Structure 1
Amino acid sequence: MRRLTHTLAFTALAACFSSAFAGGADMKPPLERLPGWAVPEAYTLDLRVDPAQTRFAGVTTIRVELKKAADHVWMHGKDLKVSSVRVIDAKGVSHAAQYVNAAPKQGVVRIDFGKTLQPQELKLVFDYSAPFNHQLQGLYKVTRDGRPYAMTQMEPISARYAFPSFDEPGFKTPYKIVLTVPNDEVAVANTAIAKSSKDGKGWKTLDFKTTQPLPTYLVAFAVGPWDVVSGGEIKPNAWRKEPIRLRGIAPHGEGSRIHIALSETPVIIQTLEQYYGFGYPFGKLDLLAAPDFSAGAMENAGLVTFRDWLMLMDKNSPSDAVRNSFNVQAHELAHQWTGDTVTLDWWNDIWLNEAFATWMQQKVTAKVHPEYRADLDRVSRAEGAMGNDSLVSARKIRQPITGNGDIQTAFDGITYQKGAAVIGMFEHYVGVDTFRKGMRAYIQAHKFGNAKASDLVGAIDKAAGKGEAFKHAFSSFLDQSGVPMVSTRLDCSGTHPVLHLTQDRYLPLGSSGDPNRLWGIPVCVRTGAGKAGVQCQMLDSKTATMQLSGGQCPAWYMPNADARGYYRFSMDKTDLAKLNGHLGALNDAEKLAYADAVKAAFHRGDIDASAAMEAVRRLAPSKTRQVALAPLDTFAWIWKHEAQTDAQRAALRKLASEAYLPRLQKLGYVKRKGESSDDALTRSALAGFLGVGVKLPAVRAALLQQADRALEKNAKGRLNLAAANPDLLSEDLTVAVEEKGKPVVDALIAELNKTTDADRRNAMLAALSHAPGAQAERVWNFALSPQVKVGEMFRLLTGHRDTQQGRDALWTWFKGHYDQVVKRTGTFASGYVPNLAGGGGCSMADAERLQAFFTPRLDDLPGADRGLAQTTESIKLCAALKKAQDPSAITR
């Protein structure tokens, strides 16, 4: 095949066009978005995949609309060995083209035609091969129990590892997938198999039905010795005429453990269909339990992939695993509408996918499993996002994208949890029915296409009729970072009670942020029971007044009714004292908002440790698990960073023991027949806090007793892990590792090499992360070994952050093994590496060494600049708060 050099191609082009439109800036690789003058219209992926090999090969054919005369197109491809490229023009004439790795680091390639082509429809045909990825990107390979599997993870920009492509969400086309695989392997893809054939030489070819229009990041297929389990059919309904074939795809020998997850799927789908008024549009539905996976799960249309522990369960699975399975499945299936049916146009609007799926998952969970208390999960997760959002270096929900690093770090708590909280706040403001009407219109208007933030906000506004003020208020949360702080003061001196409102930006002690920032905040205040006791007002100026209804001065008020608002509050001291006396009148969500207000005041330096710990005494008696445990984050900070003497630690242990030990003792350490999952979760949380956190001797003794039984070996030399309460296995083994060191570390490492059960692996990994002394370094080295999955590695490297000695030891190890860590994790995890190395630090020295080490390495770590900025800022804020505290307050 004749190949034109770049010089010859450019010379030929210049001879034809004096304007040289393809030269100059047009030949500079587009490192952000591809130009819009070449648009893919359809793909055919014809691949030969054998997981037992190290490479795969195939032919990718892309139908492209060339919108202007050009001698080249820009595309994506990374680590692909392209043997030939052919261009077939609109007349069917084929000629060779050249594949040029224009920007290998970013995966940007140029296809040189060799001559200028006029606007027309083309076909680009690529013959190529590529290695199976080992960093869980693109088409990657993992081995489980001695058996190899190949599967895909394309989001966000990893399709380029698997096939030549226009690897952007705005390019949405149908896909025809054809897989040639060994006869004894099972292959699945986005769609059902249309036909299959065998070649008589040990291979079969599976021709899958053409997909609905999809972006590259939702293309999915998998090859391996899978167990395929029928989940039956999801029956037709008012929104869908055809049944949905449901299946579970599990690793070899694990099919029997996917039934619990599959049993929840039909009601999730039907709930989503009813909300959106739009039937599931992708024909069949497979749920795949991946042996190793970079994310928690992935919403590929028709083939949703999950970490194995989210899918593989039995009657003895931990309660948190069962709940997590449902919640994550609800999230991923919600994506079939927001993300798959309607796809974001560009990565700055990833919240249109993730925030809406998070918000919708909470609605589905609340309806199907009200006992899971999704209403409280909504509040606690939003408050968790506020921790990151309080940083000056925090992302916006709609963060401008300046490179691949910004894409890879967009999948964070701001996108998911803050985004969901903001959606919920404005849903509450316009009304649930009105918001749903807008969502239905949005889905119908953009189905099988792409959308921007303005499309969604416009649809809600049209349904609500709120006008430009609503759009401005919504955008004020999308387009600027930060947490609003609403300060309140009640004035009853006039004829009617008046609440004075002031807004600024919440900033922790030591922050360099500008407090002068304005939002359009729907502020809702409770002054009594029921809906009649709540009134709302849009606060879109620095100050405002709210005249309270009823005509009488209320005995108390709650500045964030039902905790629906994404804001923190600060009250006049007299008003706060009255609220403290009426906490019993608040609902559970409001009590969580109250606990967050205490935490916020502590981190702003407004109150000391003694005042913060009063929240433990006020909230610990609550019968609701989430409320009782709400103050523990602040307690943990004080324990780690402020308690300096034995007397101070003894005072904290006494408080913890008085507040929580009776509850744990009443629950006991053994799982009771018929107990609620909430009791199991309470037991686990309290055992972890009291036994592993503050190390109460009585609790540690009970956990160690269970661990001893679990560590006994049977006749086959295996540990008897089933002897422990599955909900406490992690805590049991952690205490055993801390107390006994090497013998337990030896036993757990040996058992990990024999165990495929994901829940037990997770418990053992969590315990090993607490290995003491010299055993810690041994565990860190083990994290880099093939016996530990890539997706498990971080679990072993996040212990030892509670003390400066532990952080120093991990830091020394990390510097010596930096290259190995980065090589194993790949570019997708680059943004998290600075936190892995320095997270939990609380001194200026910690911050300075982190900056000094990573700054010269940022060019090789996409997204690490933001990770470094946020980790460093968090460390400095911790140091500032620690410096301002008076440790003697603990014993007052």
Structure 2
Amino acid sequence: MATPDAATSDLTDTGPGDSTPDPHRLPSTVLPSRYDVRIRPSLDDASFSGHVRIALDVQRPTSTVVLNAIELGIDSVSVNGADATWELDATTERMTVTTRDELTGAAELEIEFTGILNDKLRGFYRSTYTDDDGVEQVIATTQMQATDCRRAFPCWDEPAFKAVFGITLDIDDGLTAISNGSEIERSSTEGRTVIRFADTMVMSPYLVAFVVGRLEMTEPVDVDGIPLRVVHVPGKSALTGFGLDVGTFSLRWFQEYYGIPYPSDKVDLIALPDFAAGAMENLGCITFRESLLLVDPDTSTQSERQNVADVVAHELAHMWFGDLVTMRWWNGIWLNEAFATFMEIAACDAFAPEWERWTSFGLERSMAFEVDSLASTRPVEFEVRSPAEADGMFDVLTYQKGGALLRMLEQYLGAERFREGVSHYLRTHAHANTETNDLWDAIEATSGEPVRQMMDSWIWQPGYPLVTAEIATVDGEAVVELRQERFEFAGGDSADGGNGWMIPVHVRSGAETTTLLLEPERSVTTAPVSDTDAIIVNAGGHGFFRVAYGPELRARLADPEALAGLTTLERYCLVDDAWAATLAGRMSAVDLLDLLDVFADEREYGVWQAVVVALGGVSRLVEGDALDALRGRVRTLVRPALSDLGDPVAGESDLTRKLRGLLTRTAGSLGRDDEIIATCRDLFTRSLDGASVDAELLSAATAVVAASGDAADYDRMLDGVSSASTPQEQLRLLFALAEYDDEQLAARTCELAMSDSVKTQNAPFLLRAAIGNRGQGASSWQFVQEHWDEANARFPGNTIVRMVDSVKLLNTAEAVDDARRFFADHPIEQATQTLEQILERQRVNAALRERDGSALDRELLSGAAG
């Protein structure tokens, strides 16, 4: 286990306060304290001009000022009113200003510049929508994280260089302009309007935002003195209510949780037609994809509403954790994002307890388990130097693993002690920059627990533990014996076993006890247990580890009465751990199917999530008659629960409706149940005719019709994409086009993704879905290879590796070799480690098919024959 001090010593020596040359870190000889930025966008020709005046604190006498700038034209530069010379270096994305006289103390730098509104959804960029008259309208908007503020104006574009920002926008009359602060002054002349906004607090440049276009906004909601609005393109006001409700609740809830007032003067939630990420936590000016803010509660699924609630809460959580207190450098981005992930779940659990949000987080956490089971995983925190390496931090290990580790810590300490530590951290470091250890030390100071020691074992080494639990006899009494080792999939390269984790293991056998399992291979015994009690390790299901039960303990848990006594998340973990054990070669696919059969009486959505994931994975191991036999087992497994649920009734819970939708899709798409397919066709047709159909069933029916559909069905869905009334309906239909199991229709979908008909924010994900198609994935992957250069030129850089994520599902030896050869010649420089993980996961899937495919084939065919 690397120590934090050793791992960060390089970073500590190259940040502000040190002049060691580094191509990715600015010298700290001169520091900015305030920016006055004036921007004049021209939406018609996708350009802008600007002026920035920067107040400087000169730390050591110098005649050279170095800051960041890229893709900007520089018209003039002056320092303290005197002209200065400058040079731009596109390789290092730097601007070097040289003065005639040596600078000392306070100074002022002024720069006149020009730029383009790019189509790459980064920096100051161009977004478009079509109005009711069929006219394309342009929005000029920003996305600065991680290192793209330098594309909007020259600046010290690193998180530790905090400053106050005063923004002024010079816009055409009739347009709307929004920035971080409230509008405080407005003047008009010669067809233009100049708007000045209130100064921001001291903050990092990547949090600066401004948006200009023909936009509308809701009336502000007063949240304890803070006005909160939703901003959107014209005509979508009917979709703003839910986002306003979530935003109002979350803003109030976070102020109470943190015990600190909101650190700015207003909140605007802005829905944008084009956005590369999901949303961005710009102080007071939070930007979103439309589908993650605008929603119709009456026609959306619970998952679609939950996505909106999650993202709104996540970004508002950042106003404190990320904006008020900010990581010192990008190696610490995990802490910002992990904490916001933790807080989004906590806030949504308070907003809608009936959603059982901590239970559903189990599936999201499993995505992190999947990556962290690979030899090519990484520590949660690691050294980051370049912008490309910073981009690589935005993955499931940062968000889902990080959030899960914080949840595990909270459950160990207790919710109140954890909250007290977080509040202490934010108060201590308000308006400053921090390292990871600052949070652990703050929580340790208020709780008295060895928080840093515990969390260091999880943050600074890759992977996670498998805890083995067996019955042992100690002094004549039966006890539970626990051991830990690193969990890893079979089929990947051998991984280091790690140095062990400090694991808080909650064990329940009647009463619940907590044990700290400290070292690798060390045995720990819990309190004596009876001869018959079911014993659950990882009680509550919140620990970030998997459990392998010995034969006796496993037999006790297999009892239906014992299973019924477990929580939903505990049963979810049993299934999820079994699927992982199958991938790791610790359990056979045949035994896994037998285990899944035990859950025919299950009626909780969360558990069925895990069952369906496992069934989907197993279905990729067989073909032909064996696949037909597997489909029969799926139908047999799903039908009892689906029959019990019946038709939707008024007043039933969201999760009941959600379960009905999941089982309908599973029976129709995976089980190819003719009766369910017919029902889904009827539901889909009725919806096209204007009938009201339960949203969960309609979502399932759309997928089932696509999975079994023909060209006529395809055309109807394609027409629906352009006429959809909500962002959620549009995406539902768009991604269903990737479900068709027909070579010509699959080719149409791929061609569509490369056309102007699909926004570049969505096209990579449509191609990802096409590659994931069980029957046509290989041909879709071939299409992507043939159009690789075009995809890289058109799509946002951070979406390219996401586009190819489903290559891992192509699990033949030929597909493995093909992917290896292709990426050897076409690396994804901005996501090298993520790509390595995708390719290793493909090898794991291929190894599972090679190892278990034949035995599963025989078992299924013998069962069908019997």
TM-score (norm 2): 0.92
Pair 1:285-2:267 in alignment? yes
Structure 1 residues 120 and 153 mapped into 2: Cα distance closer, same or farther (>3 Å)? same
SS at match of 1:512: coil
1:728-767 equivalences under 5 Å are 728-755=697-724, 757-767=726-736
Superposition deviation, residue 118 in structure 1: 3.7
Contact kept? 2:532, 2:556, Cα under 8 Å: no
Of 139, 163, 179, which residue of structure 1 is paired with 2:153? 163
In structure 2, the residue matched to 1:657 is 635
Structure 1: how far apart are the matches of 2:663 and 2:764? 24
1:260-275 equivalences under 5 Å are 260-275=242-257
Superposition deviation, residue 422 in structure 1: 0.9
Superposition deviation, residue 339 in structure 1: 0.7
Structure 2: how far apart are the matches of 1:566 and 1:881? 24
Offset from partner CA, 1:188-232 (integer Å, 9 cap, x none): 111100110101x11100000000112111111111111110142
Structure 1 residues 870 and 227 mapped into 2: Cα distance closer, same or farther (>3 Å)? same
Offset from partner CA, 1:122-177 (integer Å, 9 cap, x none): 32222111111212111111211222212111111221221112111111111000
Pair 1:70-2:65 in alignment? no
In structure 2, the residue matched to 1:716 is none
In structure 2, the residue matched to 1:80 is 72
Structure 2: how far apart are the matches of 1:757 and 1:337? 32
1:192-203 equivalences under 5 Å are 192-199=182-189, 201-203=190-192
In structure 1, the residue matched to 2:8 is none
Contact kept? 1:562, 1:587, Cα under 8 Å: yes
SS at match of 2:437: helix
Structure 1 residues 487 and 734 mapped into 2: Cα distance closer, same or farther (>3 Å)? closer
Amino acid at match of 2:683: Q
Structure 1: how far apart are the matches of 2:707 and 2:616? 19
Structure 2: how far apart are the matches of 1:291 and 1:170? 31
In structure 2, the residue matched to 1:129 is 114
Contact kept? 1:834, 1:850, Cα under 8 Å: no
Answer with 655-664 or 431-440: which moved more: 655-664
Contact kept? 2:63, 2:99, Cα under 8 Å: yes
Offset from partner CA, 1:539-592 (integer Å, 9 cap, x none): 121234444335755623112111121111112112211222222221122112
Structure 2: how far apart are the matches of 1:383 and 1:868? 19
In structure 2, the residue matched to 1:491 is 472
Pair 1:205-2:187 in alignment? no
Pair 1:786-2:775 in alignment? no
In structure 1, the residue matched to 2:743 is 773
1:299-318 equivalences under 5 Å are 299-314=281-296, 315-318=298-301
Pair 1:60-2:52 in alignment? yes
Answer with 516-525 or 353-362: which moved more: 516-525
Contact kept? 2:466, 2:547, Cα under 8 Å: yes
Pair 1:645-2:648 in alignment? no
Structure 1 residues 752 and 31 mapped into 2: Cα distance closer, same or farther (>3 Å)? farther
Structure 1: how far apart are the matches of 2:365 and 2:289? 24
Offset from partner CA, 1:617-673 (integer Å, 9 cap, x none): 223422321113322212111111x22331x2233223222222233345456x544
Pair 1:628-2:608 in alignment? yes
Structure 1: how far apart are the matches of 2:435 and 2:449? 20
Structure 1 residues 547 and 317 mapped into 2: Cα distance closer, same or farther (>3 Å)? closer
Structure 1: how far apart are the matches of 2:826 and 2:57? 40
Amino acid at match of 2:231: I
Of 833, 846, 852, which residue of structure 2 is paired with 1:879? 846
Structure 2: how far apart are the matches of 1:466 and 1:853? 50
Structure 1 residues 402 and 705 mapped into 2: Cα distance closer, same or farther (>3 Å)? same
Contact kept? 1:50, 1:223, Cα under 8 Å: no
1:563-578 equivalences under 5 Å are 563-578=541-556
Identity of paired residues, percent?
26
Superposition deviation, residue 400 in structure 1: 1.4
In structure 1, the residue matched to 2:407 is 424
In structure 2, the residue matched to 1:4 is none
Contact kept? 1:831, 1:866, Cα under 8 Å: no
Amino acid at match of 2:429: H
Of 94, 114, 123, which residue of structure 2 is paired with 1:109? 94
Indicate the RMSD between aligned Cα atoms, in angstroms.
2.3
Contact kept? 2:126, 2:141, Cα under 8 Å: yes
Superposition deviation, residue 351 in structure 1: 1.8
Contact kept? 1:827, 1:862, Cα under 8 Å: no
Structure 2: how far apart are the matches of 1:423 and 1:319? 26
Offset from partner CA, 1:817-855 (integer Å, 9 cap, x none): 11111111133334435436x342213332332232223
Contact kept? 2:764, 2:800, Cα under 8 Å: no
Amino acid at match of 1:793: A
Of 509, 512, 533, which residue of structure 2 is paired with 1:555? 533
In structure 1, the residue matched to 2:7 is none
Offset from partner CA, 1:14-52 (integer Å, 9 cap, x none): xxxxxxxxxxx9897x43322222322111110012433
Contact kept? 1:664, 1:683, Cα under 8 Å: yes
TM-score (norm 1): 0.89
Pair 1:97-2:85 in alignment? yes
Amino acid at match of 1:643: V
Amino acid at match of 2:68: H
Offset from partner CA, 1:469-510 (integer Å, 9 cap, x none): x42221111111102111122213524433322211101112
Structure 1: how far apart are the matches of 2:792 and 2:657? 38
Pair 1:247-2:233 in alignment? no
In structure 2, the residue matched to 1:151 is 141
Pair 1:356-2:348 in alignment? no
Structure 2: how far apart are the matches of 1:751 and 1:66? 60
Structure 2: how far apart are the matches of 1:803 and 1:226? 38
Structure 1 residues 881 and 292 mapped into 2: Cα distance closer, same or farther (>3 Å)? same
Contact kept? 1:389, 1:482, Cα under 8 Å: yes
In structure 2, the residue matched to 1:403 is 386
Structure 1 alignment gaps of length 5 or more: 1-24, 236-242, 713-719
Amino acid at match of 2:407: G
Structure 1 residues 421 and 483 mapped into 2: Cα distance closer, same or farther (>3 Å)? same
1:398-477 equivalences under 5 Å are 398-467=381-450, 470-477=451-458
Structure 1 residues 738 and 356 mapped into 2: Cα distance closer, same or farther (>3 Å)? closer
Structure 2 alignment gaps of length 5 or more: 1-17, 131-135
Amino acid at match of 2:467: V
Structure 1 residues 745 and 668 mapped into 2: Cα distance closer, same or farther (>3 Å)? same
Structure 2: how far apart are the matches of 1:803 and 1:245? 46
Contact kept? 1:523, 1:559, Cα under 8 Å: no
Offset from partner CA, 1:88-139 (integer Å, 9 cap, x none): 2xxxx42222131241xx5x11323154624433322221111112121111
Answer with 608-617 or 350-359: which moved more: 608-617
Of 810, 819, 832, which residue of structure 2 is paired with 1:865? 832
Contact kept? 2:67, 2:94, Cα under 8 Å: yes
Structure 2: how far apart are the matches of 1:256 and 1:292? 20
Of 596, 600, 613, which residue of structure 1 is paired with 2:593? 613
Of 503, 513, 538, which residue of structure 1 is paired with 2:484? 503
Superposition deviation, residue 756 in structure 1: 6.1
Structure 1 residues 268 and 805 mapped into 2: Cα distance closer, same or farther (>3 Å)? closer
SS at match of 1:500: strand
In structure 2, the residue matched to 1:516 is 497
Amino acid at match of 2:748: R
Amino acid at match of 1:542: P
Structure 1: how far apart are the matches of 2:787 and 2:102? 51
Amino acid at match of 1:590: E
Contact kept? 1:191, 1:210, Cα under 8 Å: yes
Structure 2: how far apart are the matches of 1:675 and 1:38? 62
Contact kept? 1:495, 1:551, Cα under 8 Å: no
Superposition deviation, residue 441 in structure 1: 0.8
Structure 1: how far apart are the matches of 2:608 and 2:834? 32
SS at match of 2:850: helix
Superposition deviation, residue 798 in structure 1: 2.2
In structure 2, the residue matched to 1:717 is none
